[in-house]
Structure 1
């Protein structure tokens, strides 16, 4: 699609998940900021249980807006990005979810909707990678911007209680993690960039596009959202204290010889399991599957973020 011309009045589309209520009037904030800059009236679209953002994003793209703002959690952002990716239209974020992992990686304010809206409308732009995912060899693919997983991590997402998330936020994931610690490893075959098959017995396989999670912990050390590479992490705790080895190596940023945690980099990956496991994309549970194919679409999404120095742990060429 041709990018909107700079010699006309600009327009933003705001796609908001109405369930994510932070107390702030997001529509009023965005409308006020746009009006102050002489932009056209905001195209306002709400997601629904039947359409979590894709249809609304297509309406915005068809309308030829200059920026599409996804206001919601990582799931809303992922669905909107799936449509905006490759169009040349910029994507902005106003984080309203529990995790807001993409926003945290990009230093977008997670507790100040007005500052996030300013970055979404008037911030700097970076071209970032998007990862396409096909589950069980389906015709249709999905995308993710932060991370995807099969096994233990996906079980946490599928088993997290929504009522507890509303009460204690991200600590609800800790509760689900504890309840899913026990379990058997699955026989797994991993192929990276068409190379030799890597065989393991694993509790989890994860693919990362950027590395940080809650608390600033870098779960994929060295992963950058614009390097054209996919980071793969395998988790295989052994023995009664196996999970301590996993946690220890995570806090050591992957350093050490403990085989409970391994890292790989590639542009494409194929993961085959002997038995179905839970699957998640950016925190959205997709049900169970036995096969997942991942492919990096390098620098295909224009993403708005705040001005200022970017963390070298996130992007390849931080701004001075």
Structure 2
């Protein structure tokens, strides 16, 4: 390669969910920030209802971009990451959604789109894990970066009102959670790695790649996005006051022996229920199913994030 080739301006693609409304002209802002950082005019690709990000990301890779920025909510991020995992093209984040779970875990300011763009273009880069999840023995798997769940948490996601999210943000999830508290546990068979299967009566099973959700609540204590491990949490409230025990277990960060909450750490997990349950992946409700297979793929995604100190629950070796 010639010396001049080394100095060719880099180019980013922005895969944007156009239904996410913001107060600034994102396309103009992205062009301005790219110019200021010495990058070419970005490739601008909008998602559609039929293609929420995978096709646009494949197009960006085919056009030889140096970075793909996912501009949208957690669903857009997941779809872009699904195509970038296993490639040499890094992922940057421009959070536009309500949850923005991955951005919150990485200390990306969700109220500052210009700062998020600068972090994507010139921030530090880490290799992080992705988790592949297969639903009901399907031929193809999805990936997630933050969490997936079966049962109560997925019902909550599926029942959250979009109009309320627009008005009150993440508090809309609280409304949905309260409405979905009543319900019956389901007989659930779980296999951790290659261990012996065990059975529980559960309201929810969740897999996590990093720890925080909306409101700063850390539901997977000590989870790190680059440790090659998957966190599994089971939720089994008992009786009328059972949810208080679940909340207490969360506040104790997994310490204690109350069966209302149990934690497991693994590289793969299989979950089988006797009745169809709601399922969500990185906050996206995908329907009902009875079987999940989860497997972590270590360090398979290059991810851009801001420089500076990171919560030690996010990275194995946070920078000082």
TM-score normalised by structure 1 residue count: 0.97
1:192 aligns with 2:188: no
1:253 aligns with 2:253: yes
The count of residues paired between Structure 1 and Structure 2 equals 316
- 1:31-70 paired onto structure 2 within 5 Å: 31-70=31-70
- How far off is 1:25 after superposition? 1.5
Per-residue CA deviation, residues 139-167 of structure 1 (Å, 9 max, x unaligned), is: 01100000000000000011111111111
- How far off is 1:291 after superposition? 0.2
- How far off is 1:215 after superposition? 2.5
Greater shift in the superposed pair: 100-109 or 164-173: 164-173
Question: CA 1:6 to 1:224, structure 2 compared with 1: closer, same or farther past 3 Å?
Answer: farther
Match of 1:250, SS state, is: helix
Per-residue CA deviation, residues 21-57 of structure 1 (Å, 9 max, x unaligned), is: 1212221111111112332221000011111111101
CA RMSD of the aligned region, Å? Answer: 0.9
- How far off is 1:249 after superposition? 1.0
Question: CA 1:39 to 1:209, structure 2 compared with 1: closer, same or farther past 3 Å?
Answer: same
Match of 1:87, SS state, is: coil
- Please name the residue that 2:27 is paired with: 27
Query: Counterparts of 2:114 and 2:9 in 1: how far apart (Å)?
Result: 22
- Please name the residue that 2:218 is paired with: 218
- Please name the residue that 2:178 is paired with: 178
Greater shift in the superposed pair: 111-120 or 248-257: 248-257
- How far off is 1:256 after superposition? 1.7
Q: Which runs of 5+ in 2 are unaligned?
A: none
- 1:202-281 paired onto structure 2 within 5 Å: 202-281=202-281
- How far off is 1:6 after superposition? 4.2
1:161 aligns with 2:133: no
Match of 1:40, SS state, is: coil
Query: Counterparts of 2:107 and 2:24 in 1: how far apart (Å)?
Result: 20
Per-residue CA deviation, residues 49-85 of structure 1 (Å, 9 max, x unaligned), is: 1111111011111111111000000000000000011
- Please name the residue that 2:113 is paired with: 113
Greater shift in the superposed pair: 10-19 or 37-46: 37-46
Q: Which runs of 5+ in 1 are unaligned?
A: none
Q: Is the Cα–Cα contact under 8 Å of residues 37 and 121 in structure 2 kept in the other structure?
A: no
Match of 2:220, SS state, is: coil
- Please name the residue that 2:146 is paired with: 146
Match of 1:301, SS state, is: strand
Query: Counterparts of 1:119 and 1:218 in 2: how far apart (Å)?
Result: 24
